[in-house]
Amino acid sequence: MTATLTDARGRRAALDLPYTHVDDFFIDGAWRTAATDGRAPVVDPATGETWGSVPAATPEELDVAVSAARGALDGWSALSAADRAGYLLRIADEIEARSEQLAHTNTRENGSPVSETLGAAANAAGIFRYFATLASWLDDQDVRPFPAGGAESVVDKDPIGVCGLIAPWNFPINLVVIKLAPALLAGCTVVIKPASPTPLSIRFIIDAVQAAGVPAGVVNLLTGPGRFGDALVRHPGVDKIAFTGSTPVGRKIAAACGELLRPVTLELGGKSSAIVLPDADLDAVSRVLIRSCMRNTGQTCYISTRILAPASRYEEVVDMVAETIAAAPQGDPLDPGTVFGPVATAAQFDTVSGYLDSARREGARIVTGGRAATAEELTPGLEDGEFIIPTVLADVTPDMTVAREEIFGPVITILRYDDSGGPDEAVALANNTKFGLGGIVFGADETRALEVARRVDSGSVGINFFGSNHSAPFGGRHDSGLGVEYGIEGLSAYLSPKSIHRRR
């Protein structure tokens, strides 16, 4: 565990955060006091302290926000894409100017280590800047001749309209921005609903939008519980929904949007695999293991929490994974040296603990971790936090619950495959899941690794590492979602094409 010179509560007391207990929403270009006194607490999962709160929006306030977005749509979409890109570039600069307070707020909301959250502003700014580069693709006229000749079609890229953006709690900034940036460039207006545990850090993005001079009504922010998200999904004034979160909630949103014939983008759960080929350099794997397989204390959708190890090197892989995970410091997420923080909520702590119980019952071998941290193992002030020691489970079989279901916590499972006949069994194991979001192939022969990667049934696969490329589509297959984000493909999700036919 991380050793610190400062008591965890003292570290928090020294922070100067502008948003703690707030009583307003951002609607039609201004912060407006909530109509009711109903509030939702914001709890620091590292200490158990309720340090903030936000109001719950009423149906009437949702109507006002959607109406504001609708009223701003014509003016915003009438601008050239180049003009809208100028706003995106100014937003990017303003976000970076708020990076430290944004990071500390994010860490207090969900326990993500500050070593992770300090990069959130730069990454968000990078997303805005990338989408700004696509302005010429939108502005350039697209004319397509009839194959038989004599006529042509002008293909316009109209904005899809008012968009409801619903974000999860694990990456509350970037998983909004990957929706917000393309929506704004496309000419759409938006109503944002952050996840209930993380409603404060997103306010820095709204501050940046306001400071950049974005017209009133283009971006609106409301907070509320899960049922409020359902109201946003079903609101008659909303034209599209973009959601990142769990598969069960995504199914409900998909059903509602199907009933309403409303376009929807869903980025959902994952149970991705890292295939370790027999020639893999395990030292190289160790260097990227945490980032690729247990990023953000395992609370990342696309990380490869199932490691598929060749039988010929199985115990080598188990030892490497266990040593790498056990050596990484866990403790106060506000300590820059911390690698693993708490899980984000008390409910998630119970969920992860339940999976560990199932692993014991079903015969998995706990190599390291497998339990909650004790008070003696934690920095003073963290005794009431939601800490689970990062866990490595070996001798996991494909039928075990921990091999099939998304745990969303600091748990890695290691499965064995027979490599005597090549990678076929590894590929079959990787594809033996209802999800299809990420994946990695580790191997010294990158040509061979690429061949294996192409056989993995997943929206994204990395070779010897995993990352997100702002210019390449990211999305899931099967139970991992519908549609993609990032790239021109992600921008196209906020467009409604129209063909205008004319004779030459």
User: Which residue matches tokens 């692993």?
Assistant: 359
d(CA 85, CA 131) in angstroms, rounded, equals 8
- What are phi and psi for residue 296, nearest 5 degrees? 55, 45
Q: Does residue 267 carry a catalytic annotation?
A: yes
- What are phi and psi for residue 355, nearest 5 degrees? -65, -40
Packing angle of the helix pair 81-96, 99-110 (nearest 10 deg) = 70
Query: Which residues neighbour 296 within 8 Å (Cβ) at sequence distance 6 or greater?
Result: 112, 113, 116, 170, 171
Q: What tokens appear for 328 in the block?
A: 């990484």
Q: Catalytic residue, from 49, 61, 267, 386: name it.
A: 267
Assess contact for 214 and 87: CB atoms under 8 A. yes
**H helix runs in 118-235, sequence order:** 120-132, 135-139, 174-186, 202-211, 226-234
Taking the CA atoms of 124, 126, 130 and 133 in sequence, report the sign of the dihedral they define.
positive
Q: Does residue 152 carry a catalytic annotation?
A: no
- What are phi and psi for residue 75, nearest 5 degrees? -65, -40
Length of the chain: 504
Query: Which residues neighbour 53 within 8 Å (Cβ) at sequence distance 6 or greater?
Result: 20, 21, 22, 39, 40, 41, 42
Beta bridge partners of 276: 442
Report helix, strand and coil shares of the chain as percent, to nearest 5: 40, 20, 40
Q: Catalytic residue, from 163, 188, 257, 301: name it.
A: 301
Using the CB atoms, write b or e for 57-73: b if 16+ within 10 Å.
bbeebbebbbbbbbebb
Neighbours of 411 (CB within 10 A): 23
Catalytic site positions:
267, 301
